[in-house]
Amino acid sequence: MTEDALSELAKNTLLIVGALFPIVNPIGNTPIFLSLTRGLSSHGRTALARMIALNGLTLILVSVFIGTHILTFFGISLPVVQVGGGLIVISTGWGLLRRPNDDDKGGTQECKESDYASQAFYPLTMPLTVGPGSISVAITVGANRPEGSEWRWPLIGGMLLGSALISASIYLSYRFAERIGRTLGDSAMNIIIRLSSFILVCIGVQILWNGLSTLLRTLVH
């Protein structure tokens, strides 16, 4: 295992985590999760957190690895996807960066002990945890892969590891949601989201530039 391979593995892992964590936002979603799971026992909340994490992992992996092929089927070029996706990432990160601290996240529906499994995917996984924004960002990151690197193990391993880390953060945040809510105050959670949002804006600019540079080279030639 060479140093370059390890560096590429770490870069791809951090790319997935940096792009998706602010959108998935498991820590910020813990208050909603708590309100939607009122009445559940500790065992029920643990099982539900596991289901949501696995569902989220599946959605992310499908979006990252197959999303570009779906776009190709519809005849959309990769540079255009990079430009459009980069704008989406920038807009999403900027919106999170400027979101008011008292943003109303709503949610009054309860999850009953008898049927919590039926609610694991909707609404707790989709759209609460991995919604349309997360899916579009995952497709954009997958489309940003360098040409000819689709089957290189550092790329595949980094995306798998990054997705697994996002899934683990979902599980841990929801599993210990009640404890996190007591330990972290609103100010601490707000700082975490602001820093992650700034990183997301920077990633969006990079993806946008990758697409624009390719389109500009096409015009020159």
Residue type, 113: E
Three-class DSSP category at 12: helix
Quick one: the chain helix, strand, coil %, rounded to 5? 75, 0, 25
- Residue 39 gets the label, from left (phi > 0), alpha (psi -120 to 50) or beta, of left
Task: Specify whether the CB–CB gap between 90 and 18 falls below 8 A.
Answer: no
Q: Which residues contact 185 (CB under 8 A, 6 or more apart)?
A: none
The pLDDT of residue 168 is: 97
Record the tokens describing residue 85, joined without a space: 């996706």
Using CA atoms of 26, 90, 81, 141 in order, give the dihedral in degrees to the nearest 10: -40
Record the tokens describing residue 215, joined without a space: 């389109």
Is the peptide bond between 132 and the residue preceding it cis, with omega within 30 degrees of 0? Answer: no
The pLDDT of residue 106 is: 45
- Residue 141 belongs to domain spanning: 3-220
Total tally of structural domains belonging to the chain: 1
Q: What is the pLDDT along the chain (221 residues), one digit of tens a residue?
A: 577 888 888 988 998 999 899 888 888 788 778 777 877 888 888 899 999 999 999 999 998 988 878 777 888 777 787 788 788 878 877 877 776 665 444 444 445 555 667 778 887 888 778 876 788 788 888 877 665 555 678 888 999 999 999 999 999 999 998 787 677 776 776 776 677 778 778 878 888 888 899 888 888 86
The pLDDT of residue 170 is: 96
The pLDDT of residue 55 is: 95
